[in-house]
């Protein structure tokens, strides 16, 4: 017993009581994230229920497993407003699944089945590439997974890839975010809990900024404050103007309703509520993706995780 004393005195108090400390803050690899965007684009448009979406799900799963995440898939039947009932698949990649204190990061990985923002009625029937609207959030989460492969924060991290987000009709309430609605009511793993969440949607476009979306400001102000503090510490505040923007029904609203935790939506829109010009058109391709924007959002998010 006496011999142990010098050894114990060398250990900092936290090593004895709180387990291992967080690893060093990783750098978000924007080139890797951009390569992920190109890989996503190459799979083609991914409307809910499509073969291309199934291939994307397999690819996401492999990427998560390569990064050391524990992967779970939820299969759930959904009925989009147009077309038949289809199987939707939500994928969750968990880092340090045994940790009780967790942060949820989410994005949809399906793309819109119709380009209804096109002027030409023939084009309106085609599926969008969705490289920013679907691809950027997916690439961001997979880029974060790669960063977490080698270094971890104090909290457990869950990366949630949501299906059937973008098959809704603008004037039909509840027709968007079908995968999220199912997961939020009946999460996988069962009884899922997190401190808070951040949802990413359209986070790759050249020139993007992310003012405070309405529901995020009203119901997730604590998360908005975390993101603003992290961005400020990294000198990236220009990407996150402290300016209010309109209320958007996105995955975060259903996650807040279902889980009872604050969830911020990091979404590219103007303070007037306009989305990028390629939104829901056939022009939503990698031509308009910026490594700098992906880097700013990815690095800010890592900093938020490491501040926990
Ligand atoms: Zn969309």
Q: Average pLDDT in the 98-111 region?
A: 98
Q: What is the predicted pLDDT for the residue at 133?
A: 98
Q: What is the predicted pLDDT for the residue at 13?
A: 45
pLDDT in tens, 187-237: 999 999 999 999 999 999 999 999 999 999 999 999 999 999 999 999 999
Q: What is the mean pLDDT of the chain?
A: 94
pLDDT in tens, 248-291: 999 999 999 999 999 999 999 999 999 999 999 999 999 999 99
Whether 17 shows a pLDDT value over 60: the answer reads no
Architecture (CATH level 2) of domain 23-306: 3-Layer(aba) Sandwich (3.40)
- Provide the pLDDT confidence category of residue 130 given band limits of 50, 70 and 90: very high
- Tell me the CA–centroid distance for residue 155 and ligand 1, in Å: 31
- Tell me the CA–centroid distance for residue 23 and ligand 1, in Å: 36
- Tell me the CA–centroid distance for residue 253 and ligand 1, in Å: 15
- Tell me the CA–centroid distance for residue 218 and ligand 1, in Å: 22
pLDDT in tens, 138-148: 999 999 999 99
Q: Give percent of the chain with pLDDT exceeding 90.
A: 92
- Tell me the CA–centroid distance for residue 267 and ligand 1, in Å: 11
Cα(179)–Cα(111) distance, rounded to whole angstroms?
13
Pairing of the two strands 70-78 and 86-95? antiparallel
Question: What residue ranges do the domains of the chain occupy?
Answer: 23-306
Whether 7 shows a pLDDT value over 90: the answer reads no
- Tell me the CA–centroid distance for residue 88 and ligand 1, in Å: 17
Q: What is the predicted pLDDT for the residue at 62?
A: 98
Residues 6+ apart with CB under 8 A from 3: none
- Tell me the CA–centroid distance for residue 166 and ligand 1, in Å: 5
- Tell me the CA–centroid distance for residue 113 and ligand 1, in Å: 10
Question: Of 187, 201, 206, which Cα lies nearest the Cα of 277?
Answer: 206
- Tell me the CA–centroid distance for residue 1 and ligand 1, in Å: 64
Backbone angles phi, psi at 27, to 5 degrees: -95, 130
- Tell me the CA–centroid distance for residue 57 and ligand 1, in Å: 18
Q: What is the predicted pLDDT for the residue at 237?
A: 98
Q: What is the predicted pLDDT for the residue at 15?
A: 43
What tokens appear for 24 in the block? 């060093």
Whether 22 shows a pLDDT value over 50: the answer reads yes
Q: What is the predicted pLDDT for the residue at 20?
A: 65
- Tell me the CA–centroid distance for residue 249 and ligand 1, in Å: 11
Q: Average pLDDT in the 68-97 region?
A: 97
Q: Which segments within 125-267 are labelled E, that is strand?
A: 156-162, 196-201, 263-267
Cα(308)–Cα(174) distance, rounded to whole angstroms?
33
**What's the pTM value of the predicted model, to 2 decimals?**
0.93
Residues 6+ apart with CB under 8 A from 47: 53, 110, 111, 112, 113, 127, 167
Q: What is the predicted pLDDT for the residue at 21?
A: 82
């Amino acid at each position: 017993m006496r011999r142990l004393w010098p050894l114990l005195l060398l250990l900092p108090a936290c090593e004895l009581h709180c387990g291992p400390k967080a690893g060093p803050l990783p750098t978000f690899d924007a080139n890797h994230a951009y390569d992920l965007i190109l890989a996503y684009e190459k799979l083609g448009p991914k409307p809910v229920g499509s073969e291309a979406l199934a291939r994307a799900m397999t690819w996401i799963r492999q990427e998560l497993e390569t990064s050391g995440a524990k992967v779970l898939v939820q299969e759930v039947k959904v009925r989009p407003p147009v077309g038949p009932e289809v199987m939707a698949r939500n994928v969750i990649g968990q880092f340090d699944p045994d940790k009780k204190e967790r942060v949820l990061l989410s994005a949809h990985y399906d793309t819109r089945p119709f380009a209804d923002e096109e002027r030409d009625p023939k084009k309106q029937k085609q599926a969008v590439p969705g490289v920013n609207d679907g691809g950027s959030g997916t690439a961001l989460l997979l880029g974060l997974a790669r960063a977490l492969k080698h270094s971890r924060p104090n909290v457990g991290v869950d990366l949630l890839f949501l299906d059937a987000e973008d098959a809704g009709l603008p004037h039909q309430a509840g027709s968007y975010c079908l995968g999220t609605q199912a997961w939020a009511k009946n999460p996988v793993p069962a009884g899922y809990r997190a401190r808070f969440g951040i949802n990413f949607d359209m986070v790759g476009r050249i020139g993007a900024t992310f003012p405070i979306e309405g529901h995020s400001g009203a119901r997730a102000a604590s998360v908005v404050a975390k993101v603003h503090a992290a961005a400020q510490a990294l000198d990236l505040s220009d990407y996150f103007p402290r300016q209010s923007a309109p209320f958007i029904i996105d995955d975060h609203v259903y996650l807040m309703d279902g889980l009872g935790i604050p969830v911020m939506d990091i979404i590219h829109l103007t303070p007037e509520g306009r989305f990028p010009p390629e939104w829901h058109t056939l022009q939503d391709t990698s031509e308009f993706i910026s490594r700098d924007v992906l880097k700013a959002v990815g690095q800010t998010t890592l900093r938020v995780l490491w501040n926990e």
